[in-house]
Amino acid sequence: MTDGWISGILRWIGGRRAWLGVAPARQDLSRAVHPGGDPGVVFASRGLSKIYRVGEIDVVALRSVDLEIREGEFIVLLGPSGSGKSTLLNILGGLDAPTSGEARFRDHNLVGASEQLLTQYRREHVGFVFQFYNLIPSLTVRENVALVTEIADHPMQPEAALQLVGLEQRLDHFPSQLSGGEQQRVAIARAIAKRPDVLLCDEPTGALDYRTGIVVLAAIARINQQLGTTAVVITHNAAIAAMADRVVHLADGTIARISVNAARQAPEEIVW
Ligand code: ADP
C-alpha cells in the first residue's frame, strides 16, 4: 500500500467534513456553558425510559432511570445481560433515543436533538470502545488512529495516543499482526486521540482472556487518570467494579443501587 493511497483516503474524509456534520450551522457544545446547572456534571438523566416495540410486543429496556455522572469519574455499569446497560450507554452517547425522559450532556438536552447535532456531539465529545475492535485491516496501527485524528478539531498525534496504551512500538504493524488485546488497545487509542470528554466502553474486555483484559482495563484507567476523561465502562463482571469510583448496578431496566468505592483498585490487582 502506498502513502499516496492512504493520504487519498484521509483527504476524502477531510473533504466530507460538511457531509459528516462538521462545517455548517456549528453549535457550541463546549464545557463553558452551564446556566443553572452544576458545572461538575457531565451526564444527567431523569425519568429515562426506553421501550422497544418488536412486532406486537413491547420490550422495556429502561424504566425511569435517574443518574448523574460527574467530570472525571470512572463509572462501571454492572448488571446481568438484558438489564439495560447498553441501552443506557447508547442513549448517553447519542447513538439511540429514549422513549421518554431527559438525557443531558452538560446543559444540552440530547433528547430531541437533530441528527446533525448528535453527529457533532459524538464526533467532538464522545469516544466509543466496543467489544469488537472494528479496525481497518488494510491500514497500519498508526493509520487506523490517523483516520480519526484527521477529522477532529484538536487531536493528539496518533503516536501520542498509541503511547498512552503502550503500543508505541507497534505503529507500523497491521491489525492481523496484533493480539486481540493489542487490537483493543488500538481501538482505545483511536477513541481517545480526538481528546473526547467522555469515553464510553461497552464490554471492552468481553472478547479477551483475563490477563489481556487487565492490560486493556489498565489503559482505560490510565486515560481516565492522566487526561481526566470521564469513563463509563459496561461489564457483567463484578470484579471489574473495584476499579471504579462508583458502580451503577442495573437490574431489569432500573438502577437497583449505586455503590461508591472508597479507594479504587488498580486493574493489575483485580482477580477474577
Ligand atoms: P444489556 O446491555 O444489559 O445486556 P440491553 O440494553 O442490550 O441490555 O437490553 C435491554 C433489553 O432491551 C433486553 O431485553 C434486550 O433484549 C432489549 N433490546 C435491546 N436492544 C433492542 C432492540 N434493538 N430491539 C428490541 N429489543 C432490544
pLDDT at 35: 45
pLDDT tens-place string over residues 241-269: 999 999 999 999 999 999 999 999 999 88
pLDDT at 199: 97
pLDDT at 4: 52
Q: What is the pTM of this model?
A: 0.87
pLDDT at 270: 87
Confirm whether 48 is domain-assigned. Answer: no
Confirm whether 59 is domain-assigned. Answer: no
**Of the candidates 42, 47, 92, 49, the residue with the CA atom closest to the CA atom of residue 69:** 42
Mutational pocket test of ligand 1: of 45, 49, 52, the residue with most ligand atoms within 8 Å of the beta carbon: 52
Strand-strand pairing, 57-70 and 100-105 = unpaired
Q: Which cell is 125 given?
A: 465529545
Q: Which cell is 183 given?
A: 487490537
**Of the candidates 182, 143, 148, the residue with the CA atom closest to the CA atom of residue 165:** 182
Whole-angstrom distance, CA of residue 140 vs CA of residue 172: 5
Confirm whether 39 is domain-assigned. Answer: no
Mutational pocket test of ligand 1: of 59, 88, 255, the residue with most ligand atoms within 8 Å of the beta carbon: 59
Enter the DSSP assignment of 238: G
**Of the candidates 209, 189, 201, the residue with the CA atom closest to the CA atom of residue 235:** 201
Confirm whether 36 is domain-assigned. Answer: no
Distance, CA of 26 to chain centre = 23
Whole-angstrom distance, CA of residue 85 vs CA of residue 224: 20
Confirm whether 105 is domain-assigned. Answer: no
Task: Give, using CA atoms, the residue closest to atom 11 of ligand 1.
Answer: 61
The answer to whether the beta carbons of residues 107 and 98 sit under 8 Å apart is no
Confirm whether 106 is domain-assigned. Answer: no
Whole-angstrom distance, CA of residue 115 vs CA of residue 113: 7
Structural domain including 196 reads 3-28+72-95+113-269
Q: What is the CATH number of the domain that holds 90?
A: 3.40.50.300
Looking at ligand 1, which atom is closest to the CA of residue 53? 25
Which amino acid, one-letter code, is at 199? Answer: L
Whole-angstrom distance, CA of residue 1 vs CA of residue 35: 51
Place of cell 490477563: 211
Task: Give, using CA atoms, the residue closest to atom 17 of ligand 1.
Answer: 61
Question: Quick one: CA dihedral 209, 210, 212, 217, positive or negative?
Answer: positive
Confirm whether 103 is domain-assigned. Answer: no
Q: Could you tell me the distance, in angstroms and rounded to a whole number, from the CA of residue 219 to the centre of ligand 1?
A: 28
**SS3 at position 47:** strand
Q: Could you tell me the distance, in angstroms and rounded to a whole number, from the CA of residue 253 to the centre of ligand 1?
A: 9
Q: Could you tell me the distance, in angstroms and rounded to a whole number, from the CA of residue 139 to the centre of ligand 1?
A: 33
Ligand 1 pocket by C-beta < 6 Å: which residues?
52, 54, 59, 61, 79, 81-87
Tens digit of pLDDT at every position of the chain (272 positions): 444 555 455 444 444 443 333 333 445 554 433 444 676 999 999 999 999 999 999 999 999 999 999 999 999 999 999 999 999 999 999 999 999 999 999 988 999 999 999 999 999 999 999 999 999 999 999 999 999 988 888 899 999 999 999 999 999 999 999 999 999 999 999 999 999 999 999 999 988 888 888 999 999 999 999 999 999 999 988 999 999 999 999 999 999 999 999 999 999 888 87
**Distance (Å) of CA 203 to CA 79, 81, 185, 224:** 11, 11, 13, 17
Confirm whether 41 is domain-assigned. Answer: no
Q: 240-243: long-range contacts (C-beta < 8 A, 24 or more apart)?
A: 240/76, 240/78, 240/205, 240/270, 240/272, 241/76, 241/78, 242/269, 242/270, 243/74, 243/76, 243/217, 243/267, 243/270
Count structural domains, the chain. 1
